Each structure stands twice: as structure tokens, then as C-alpha cells.
Amino acid sequence: MSDFSILGYGLGILQALLIIVLSPLIVGIMRKIKAKSQKRIGSGIFQPYCDIIKLLRKDEIVSDQSSWIFRATPWINFVTTASAAFFIPVFLVYSPFGVVGDILLVVGLFALGRFFTMLAGLDVASSFGGLGSSREMMISVLVEPALFMTIFVIASFYGGTNISTIVSSANDTSILIVPGILFALIAFFIIMMAETGKLPFDNPSTHLELTMIHEAMVLEYSGKSLALMEWSHAIKQMILFTLFIDIFFPWNFAEQISLVGISFGIIIFIVKVSTLASFTAFIETRIAKWRLFRVSDLIAMAISSSMIGVIFFFL
């Protein structure tokens, strides 16, 4: 577990890079599946990569009302989300950077990115940005208790908030289907949908700005900044997916550093994460966006589900 060699750190960086690099692919897969289930052909699964590269090469238009906050936000957003990727085990049961931060730090880093995104939404002096920030504010306020309760359940079960500890003890545990964890899974799934702006919380592909949340905040972005914003959103989604499978489906991790183990681990990881992505995308095509004030009911469900998890743990 405590292998602090250069190889160890190299593998840690490789894990983070896998998340960062593969994240647009997952977006592409999800779009493809959505298109297929809507009887469309859809663009190829590598389209998000082309989008990012294309956007990086484009000129930018910046609102004359905006300040440095608007221009710094994409960078801050990318740095916080990509830094969070360093703490997530991908194919190993641990992350060599585990000693630096735990799941609470990951939550904090996401919150820092979101803080700046909300400010950027307000910065451009348009009502769309304010609208997005206002709604994001509401959802983030409500998601926070659900998230911390879920973390509480998981930390109590697996003896730690350190993600490496959680994953390695989850990997060691033979019985995974315990009621507490099952309820935490339900809660975490709802949180994941809310945090990544999925239906029924948010519909990023709508043509009406009035129904958007995340997209309304980033409406003014173009060029490089937009590329960074989209990419960091993809990374955030990837991190949450990875955390989900790390915590709830911790099978076939590489426990020792060996070439076979690692390549097997990577393949298993890609299979697991694409399955989860397909499942999420499939769910998304089955439901419509909910009215904004009904969203709180869904989050209340997540809170109560994690609360039941807590009670199951202590019984």
C-alpha cells in the first residue's frame, strides 16, 4: 500500500491522466447511446475530442462587462477538477497521492470550482448567467447534506474518508450487498445525477436557455475558455463515475504493481465506467426534466436514503 517509489507516483499520475484523457470519451459514449435510444444516428464517440481541439484553436469573445473572475474561472475550474482526479484510484486499489487528500478534499475542490463558475455566471451582467447561478446555488445547497450523509455512511462502513482506505477495504470485503451501502448507493446515484447536470435536474442539450442550469452559467464562454469549461465538466463527471464504481463495485483492482494486473485493471475500469455511463444515459432518455421546485423532492429522497443507510449501519 505504501509504495512511494517513482514508479508508484508515476502510476498515480497515470491514473489521474486516465481520468482526464478518457473523460471526453465517456461524454461521447453517453451522447451516442442517447442518440441511439432516440432513433438517431448521432455523432461518433470521439466527437467531444474534436470539439475540444476545435474550440482550443478558435478566437475568443469576452464580454466587456466581465472582470478577471470571468477569464480566470475556466482555468480555476480545470485545475480544481483535474487536481481532484489525483486522489481517485482507477485501476490500483489505492492512489499514491492518497496521503495528500481525502474525499472531503475532493468535495471541497468541486465546490471551489462551482463557486467560481457561479461567480462567472454573475460576472457578465446578463440575466441568463444570474439565472443559472441562482439555480445552481439552490441545487448545490440541497445536494450538500445528501453528499455528506452518504460520505458518513461510507466512511463509517469502510473506516475512513481517505479514498484509498475506502477502496482497499471495500475490495477486501466479500459481502458488498449490505443494506446500509445499498441505500448509500441510491443516494450517491441521485447526487451524481444532480452534480453532473443530468436529467431530471438539468438538461444541457436543450435549446431554451430558460431551462438550463449549468449551460446558462457558461453561456458567455467561447474558444479556449469554453473548451476548458466543457472538459472540466467532463472530468468532474468522470471522477464521480469512477468514485461510484470504486466505492460500490470494487472488483478486480490491481493490488500489486505488475504489467498484467495493471493492463487488466485498466480494461476492467473502462468496461465498468462505460457500463455505468450507458446506464446513466439510458435513464436520461427515459425521463423528462422535472420542474425546478420538484427537484428538491428528489434530493430529499437522497438525503432520507442516506439517513436510512446511517440507521442500518448502527443497528
Partner 1 sequence: MSENLSIVYVIFAFFSLGATLGLFTRGQKYHTYFTYVPSAFASFLTIVLSIAIFSSENIHLTFFNIQHLFDFEIFIDGVAAFFLLIIGLISFAVSIYSLSYSKKFDDKKNNSALGMLFNVFIISMILVVISNNVFFFLVFWELMSLTSFFLVIYEHENKNNLKSGLTYLVMAHLGTGFIFASFILMYTQTGSFSFDSFRDVAIIPQYIKDIAFVLAFVGFGTKAGMVPLHTWLPKAHPSAPSNVSALMSAVMLKIAIYGIVRYLFDFNAIDSSPDYVWLGVGIIAIGSISALVGILYALVENDIKRALAFSSIENVGIIFIGLGLSVVFAAFHLMSLSVLAFIASMFHTLNHSIFKGLLFMTAGSIHFSTHTKNMEDLGGLIKKMPWTAMMFLIGSIAIIGLPPLNGFIGEWLTLQSLLAVFQIPSNILQVSLAFAILTFALTIGLAGATFVRLFGITFLSKSRSSKAINAVEVPRLMLIGKAILASSCVLLGILPFIGINLIVSAFDLSYTPSSPFEAISITNTVDSNFASLLMSGVLVIFISVLVGIFAFVRIVGGKTKTIKYGTWDCGFGSLSEKTQYTATSLTEPIRRIFGIFYKPNNDIDVNFYAKENLYLKKSINVISTTRNIFDEKLYGKVISGSLFVLDKIRKIQSGKVNAYILYIMITLIALLLFVGFGTHE
Q: Which of residues 98-117 bind partner 1 (CB under 8 A)?
A: 98-102, 104-105, 108-109, 111-112, 114-115
Rounded Cα distance, 201 and 155, in Å: 27
Does residue 60 touch partner 1 according to CB under 8 A?
A: yes
CA angle 153, 190, 144 (to 5 degrees): 60
Q: x/- string (CB under 8 A) for partner 1, residues 228-267?
A: x---------------------------------------
Q: Are 134 and 214 in contact (CB under 8 A)?
A: no
Q: How far is the CB of 59 from partner 1 (least distance, A)?
A: 5
Asked whether the beta carbons of 248 and 38 are under 8 A apart, the reply is: no
Least separation in angstroms between CB 41 and partner 1: 28
Q: Would you tell me the crossing angle of helices 127-158 and 163-172 to the nearest 10 degrees?
A: 50
Looking at the Cβ atoms of 168 and 196, the one nearer to partner 1 is 168
- Near partner 1 in 202-221, by CB under 8 A: 219-220
Q: What is the CA radius of gyration of the chain?
A: 19
The residues in 115-144 that bind partner 1, with binding defined as CB under 8 A, are 115, 118-119, 122-131, 133-135, 137-138, 140-144
122 neighbors 37 (Cβ within 8 angstroms): no
- Letters for 156-195 (x = contact with partner 1 by CB under 8 A, - = none) are x--xxxx-xx---x--------------------------
Nearer to partner 1, 78 or 269 (CB): 78
Interactions with partner 1, residue window 286-315 (CB under 8 A)? 292-293, 296, 303, 307, 310-311, 313-315
d(CA 272, CA 103): 21
Which 3 state secondary structure label does DSSP give 254? strand
Q: Determine the Cα–Cα distance for residues 205 and 237; give it in Å rounded to an integer.
A: 16
**Stretch of residues binding partner 1 (CB under 8 A), selected from 26-34, 73-81, 183-191, 268-276:** 73-81
CB of 10 to partner 1, least distance (A): 14
Cα(123)–Cα(262) distance, rounded to whole angstroms?
A: 45
Q: Which residue matches cell numbers 477502496? A: 167
Please pick, from the candidates 149, 190, 199, 239, the single residue that binds partner 1 as defined by CB under 8 A. Answer: 149
Q: Which is nearer to partner 1, 239 or 276 (CB)?
A: 239
Shortest gap between Cβ of 277 and partner 1 (angstroms)?
24
User: Binding to partner 1 by residue 283, rule CB under 8 A?
Assistant: no
Angle (deg, nearest 10), helices 223-248 and 103-123 = 150
